[in-house]
Structure 1
Amino acid sequence: MLFKESIEIAFNALLSNKLRSILTMLGIIIGVGAVIAMISVGMGVQQKVTNSIASLGSNMLIVMPGSANSGGVRSAAGSSQKLKLEDADAIKEKIKNIDYVAPTVNSSYQVVYGNQNWNTSVYGVTPEYMAIRDLTVSTGAFITQSDLSTRTRAAVVGTTVAANLFGTVNPVGKTFRIDSSPYKIIGVLESKGQSSMGRDQDDVILIPLTTAQERLLGITYIQSINIQVSRLDKMDQVQNEIETLLRQRHRIIGNKEDDFTVRNLTSLMETMNSTTTMLTLFLGSIAAISLIVGGIGIMNIMMVSVTERTREIGIRKALGATFKNIMMQFLIESISIGVIGGFLGIVFGISTSLLISKFGGFTTVITAAPIILSFGFSVGIGLFFGIYPARKAAKLDPIEALRYE
């Protein structure tokens, strides 16, 4: 029996029982579609987390006040006021392999312009903050060193703040109030959109750090130090040097607990990527179970098919069909179910991913790897679960098969 004839016989057998064939394929279709959809959701979560951390800046270290053991009595007393502007200056002067150092403070305030008001986050920053956070000014200018020196009441606003206070009017040059004090808008930032946590990155006002400390908040400490390291392979070295320097400056000796925490965003990104990768694999594995169930369905239907066509098999063997011919015929039939189900499953999976992205509020990432993997798995399932029924058919005794009613 020729290979072409085996294919024709297999497809004729499937077409002669259309409903049964469709129901058998359904397990493969759902399995392949579920694998593609679940992995696309998992990869979407991973991309969103990665983009969110990356939006903070590349090769970033962030020094925060307070012990890493923030719970219970292990927290350092008064640690929230331990970081000073001088600490940031010392890091900039004494630590090598650093591009930018940007100390910051922040708080929430109601801002008012005319009869419009808006609640937003106000950050006290330095000129380096623009580079370290990859910000761009669409109109106007950014905060300068001169603004820091003179404690100028200048402000750079995000697009959300600008839209809610000024509508379509260009706010540059306008004066508005933060906590009842007048501030002049010198620039508007380009939009950065939402972070992975849903926070609007454009709902922000930036003012000179010294102005925020002395005129707005009335404090002498800073709340964070953002540090951009020159090279990725120097991250751990720079982190250790910063920890050593701050321990010296804060007179922390021996086993005494640090009153600061240095967060390595690169390590955080690696950890988050590892976690989301495990989540993606878990979702894919759960979805792949339906592929196994679909394979059992193929085996079940092929066993029924062998039983129904016992006399046909007997006639073929009596006419000279070999063990190989019968095996090929039934294997092609089972693999065809896997191939057709796999193609339909790909369509179903991609469509589901797009619908989840459009209506479900999730970011989905469709890549070739899960599509190829799930399709290959569906074909393999058809082959694996078709072997036993095919062998059973091929080993039938032609005399007994011809007697079968």
Structure 2
Amino acid sequence: MEFFETLTTALEALKLNKMRTALAMLGIVIGIGAVIALVSLGQASQQTVQTQIQSLGSNMLTVSPGAQNSGGIRGASGGGTTLTNDDAKAIASSTQITTVAKVSPELSRRAQIIAGRNNENAQILGATPAYADVRKVTVSSGRFLSQQDVDGMQRVAVLGPTAISNLFPSGASPIGQSIRISNISFRVIGVTTSKGGTGFMNQDDIAIIPLTTAQKLVFGVNYLGSISIEAKSADVMNQARDQVGYFLLARHKITNPYQADFSIFSQEDILGAATQVTGTFTMLLSGIATISLLVGGIGIMNVMLITVIERTREIGLRKSLGARDRDVVSQFLAEAVILTVVGGFLGMIIGVGLSYIISSLMGLPFTLSLSAVILAIGVSGAIGIVFGLYPARKAARLSPIEALRFE
């Protein structure tokens, strides 16, 4: 019964000055809302990145050129010219490599695509038929590249859904239509099934052309940008990495593995790095948002200290009528906890709403972190206790006679 009386009295006291009560809760509302929204958006971004990487194939290894030591300085991976078509053919035909199922040599750069009056800057990928198997690409209409297209250096292209919507906004079938890439005419022969993504990671904003055409006609190079390799199973990924690595070292006549002019990455490596980056970014933003919780707690403490001063005579009257110190502490502590808990629930609603709206606008999956919600509400209650305890104890220490004399 005493608990409900304390709660009722605290609510009545807070209602006396509604504006001050609302302003005191504002910092908590903003802090909780920001924490929930940022954590949810961070998890949504992380989930999107994981889905995009996993959609490329779970048993895939990527060989990138350029990680070579020169004068004691290690160069960047992926920007060199040390991988060739012969390397890819040798890996595919080698009897020493027993763990590889498919090999896909690739050359990727960005270029302008023109279709009539429409144009866009998209990723141009030179590939072979093996690309569809290694990268798990399917076509929704038309067909994919054939070996005859590669051998004959044909001017044909398979476009992603985003490229199609940008180049052919009228909705007409793109199959058989003519496009221009670097002022070279290509015929559209297929459209890939959507795989999602945004910005430079958009796997739908792409034009796939024969590798030989890309090398000799479009970009004028004789090297590869990467070699994608599909292992026979997830269980032999490490063995496949070792076999391919030592095979390429021997082909490139390199005896010291630390001087290798290539790097080999698995999907797990890329996924782990991406997860670490997005996780760190989410924690950083959440830490910044948590500062507003601290500011909100200090604001509540200030409001409670002012309340103690305003109600000094009331405290003296209650203590003269027999109220104990713990009764006074409970009274003011209850008010502080109510402020933070109610503010926490309001912040939770706002945070979930913001997360849903922003996720929809950014094309991200809506992800609600239940642990973040529980933690945020728990933290808000703890803030009420921590920042409300000092004003409550200060009120309890007042002498009844001095409190009644207070003007």
Settle same-fold status: TM greater than 0.5: yes
Aligned match of 1:281: 283
Q: Structure 1 residues 338, 124: closer, same or farther in 2, change over 3 A?
A: same
Q: Distance in 1 between matches of 2:47 and 2:374?
A: 21
TM-score under structure 2 length normalisation: 0.82
The alpha carbon displacement at 1:403 in A equals: 4.3
Q: Distance in 1 between matches of 2:332 and 2:73?
A: 71
The alpha carbon displacement at 1:286 in A equals: 1.8
Equivalent residue letter for 1:332: A
Give the match's secondary structure for 1:276: helix
Residue correspondences, number: 402
Q: Structure 1 residues 247, 319: closer, same or farther in 2, change over 3 A?
A: same
Query: Which whole-Å deviations, capped at 9, do the CAs of 1:7-46 have from their partners, x for residues lacking one?
Result: 1100000001212211211221222223223334443443
Aligned match of 1:295: 297
Identity within the alignment, %: 43
Aligned match of 1:82: 82
> 1:60·1:266 contact (CA, 8 Å) conserved in 2?
no
Aligned match of 2:378: 376
Deviates more, 1:174-183 or 1:266-275: 174-183
Query: Which whole-Å deviations, capped at 9, do the CAs of 1:315-362 have from their partners, x for residues lacking one?
Result: 333434333333222221111011111122223333444555567899
Q: Structure 1 residues 279, 221: closer, same or farther in 2, change over 3 A?
A: closer
Aligned match of 1:38: 38
Deviates more, 1:208-217 or 1:387-396: 208-217
Aligned match of 1:168: 171
> 1:117·1:165 contact (CA, 8 Å) conserved in 2?
no
Q: Distance in 1 between matches of 2:115 and 2:71?
A: 41
Summarize the alignment of residues 332-343 of structure 1 with structure 2, pairs less than 5 Å apart. Answer: 332-343=334-345
TM-score under structure 1 length normalisation: 0.82
1:10 is aligned to 2:13? no
Q: Structure 1 residues 74, 177: closer, same or farther in 2, change over 3 A?
A: same
Query: Which whole-Å deviations, capped at 9, do the CAs of 1:103-150 have from their partners, x for residues lacking one?
Result: 113456666667877765443322221132232211122223454455
Query: Which whole-Å deviations, capped at 9, do the CAs of 1:47-68 have from their partners, x for residues lacking one?
Result: 4544444454434322122235
Q: Structure 1 residues 96, 392: closer, same or farther in 2, change over 3 A?
A: farther
Summarize the alignment of residues 131-170 of structure 1 with structure 2, pairs less than 5 Å apart. Answer: 131-148=133-150, 152-163=154-165, 164=167, 167-170=170-173
Equivalent residue letter for 1:36: I
Aligned match of 2:251: 249
Aligned match of 1:62: 62
Q: Distance in 2 between matches of 1:348 and 1:51?
A: 28
> 2:308·2:391 contact (CA, 8 Å) conserved in 1?
yes
Q: Structure 1 residues 231, 377: closer, same or farther in 2, change over 3 A?
A: farther
Summarize the alignment of residues 5-404 of structure 1 with structure 2, pairs less than 5 Å apart. Answer: 5-68=5-68, 80-92=80-92, 93=94, 94-106=96-108, 120-148=122-150, 152-163=154-165, 164=167, 167-174=170-177, 183-195=186-198, 197-198=199-200, 200-213=202-215, 220-230=222-232, 234-254=236-256, 257-354=259-356, 356-357=358-359, 365-404=367-406
Q: Distance in 2 between matches of 1:273 and 1:35?
A: 19
Equivalent residue letter for 1:169: A
Equivalent residue letter for 2:319: K
Q: Distance in 1 between matches of 2:115 and 2:35?
A: 52
Q: Distance in 2 between matches of 1:311 and 1:245?
A: 88
Q: Structure 1 residues 216, 358: closer, same or farther in 2, change over 3 A?
A: closer
Root mean square deviation, CA, Å: 3.7
Deviates more, 1:293-302 or 1:170-179: 170-179
> 1:91·1:242 contact (CA, 8 Å) conserved in 2?
yes
Q: Distance in 1 between matches of 2:118 and 2:284?
A: 49
> 1:59·1:266 contact (CA, 8 Å) conserved in 2?
no
The alpha carbon displacement at 1:185 in A equals: 3.6
Query: Which whole-Å deviations, capped at 9, do the CAs of 1:297-322 have from their partners, x for residues lacking one?
Result: 22222223233333333333343433
Equivalent residue letter for 1:28: I
Q: Structure 1 residues 219, 51: closer, same or farther in 2, change over 3 A?
A: same
Give the match's secondary structure for 2:259: coil
Query: Which whole-Å deviations, capped at 9, do the CAs of 1:130-177 have from their partners, x for residues lacking one?
Result: 132232211122223454455555432333444526943323345666
Q: Distance in 2 between matches of 1:113 and 1:23?
A: 57
Deviates more, 1:358-367 or 1:128-137: 358-367
Unaligned runs of 5+ in 1: none
Equivalent residue letter for 1:8: T
